[in-house]
A = this chain, B = another copy of it.
Amino acid sequence: MRSVEESPVTRDGKALVLAHDHGLEHGPEQFAGVEERLDPARVFEMATHDAVTALAVGKGLTETYYPSYDDQVNLLAKLNGGSDLWMGDPYSPQNWSVEYADELGADAIGYTIYPGVNREPEMFEDFRPVQEEARERDLPIAMWSYPRGQAVKAHRSPEVIAYAARIAHELGADFAKVKYPRSREAMAHAVDAAAATKVLLSGGSKTSDREFLELVESCMDAGVEGLAVGRNVWQRENPHEILDMLERVVFEGASTDDVL
């Protein structure tokens, strides 16, 4: 496992990933009120903000826009993902090979796993060659580790989130992106369970500035490496402002009260 401290997708051992795979995973309805951001160039532009250590996007957006931003943006190639039109048991198809992501300039790769779903074994087996190919190419690996399925009654219970973080470690990911387990203590437990794998808070739906920043502050205190944020940035009227504030909380240890 490579040292994530020296990774191009962290800064001083901290990470703020801007995620923008919502066009595929959730569809254009996510852009209600901010329709101009259907144009991915707007989000690539946001990713040039100093606070952003990597931009997580899929193949199509990378092919089209990354050539113009590769000097200014670190790319976290999100390799799998499905549409929200689909009603089947959770599973995420791979849309992009590691080889091609590397060729397009990826600095790291991202992959979703749903522990507990009917096709868990298949998802683990899909991940194997992805992980090993990424190692071969010296690309750090972030796992979106989201337990689901009939046995997972509480997606955000402390034990389930800790398990999610541990699975990322056991299967060979450098980063585990997990949901917030509803308390600072539970997040600290997940950080312990992840061992050497670094935990990233999954940002979730848009909330108020204070609510969001307090969440981030609490998780940073709990020992997470940083966060992956999408809607809480690009659905805001002024994304630059929230990125300024996040930069202080994530990288400079400021409190929510300091920045508001």
Measured CB to CB, the residues of A under 8 A from B are: 1, 21, 23-24, 27-29, 31, 35, 38-40, 58-61, 63-65, 81-88, 91-97, 100, 115-118, 120-122, 124-125, 127-129, 131-132, 135, 147, 149-152, 159-160, 162-163, 166-173, 189, 192-193, 195-197
Contacts and interface: CB of A to CB of B under 8 A. Distances in A.
4 closest residue pairs by CB, A with B: A85-B116, A93-B121, A24-B170, A93-B124
A96 to B, nearest CB: 7
Contacts of A39: 192, 195
A149 B86 contact: yes
Contact of A27 (B86, B120, B162): B162
Contacts of A97: 128-129, 132
B128 A170 contact: no
Contacts of A100: 132, 135
A116 B87 CA distance: 7
B61 A86 contact: no
Contacts of A64: 1, 169, 195-197
Nearest to A32: B159
A151 B131 CA distance: 33
Contacts of A132: 96-97, 100
B192 A118 contact: no
A129 to B, nearest CB: 8
Contacts of A82: 120-121, 124
A87 B100 CA distance: 35
Contacts of A91: 121
Given A159-B27, A193-B28, A122 B93 contact: yes
A58 B166 contact: no
A163 B93 contact: no
Contacts of A40: 195-196
A27 B163 contact: yes
Contacts of A61: 169-170, 195
Contacts of A95: 124-125, 127-128, 170-172
Given A83-B167, A121-B86, A192-B35, A28 B162 contact: yes
B96 A128 contact: yes
Contacts of A96: 128, 132, 172
Given A121-B91, A122-B93, A171 B85 contact: no
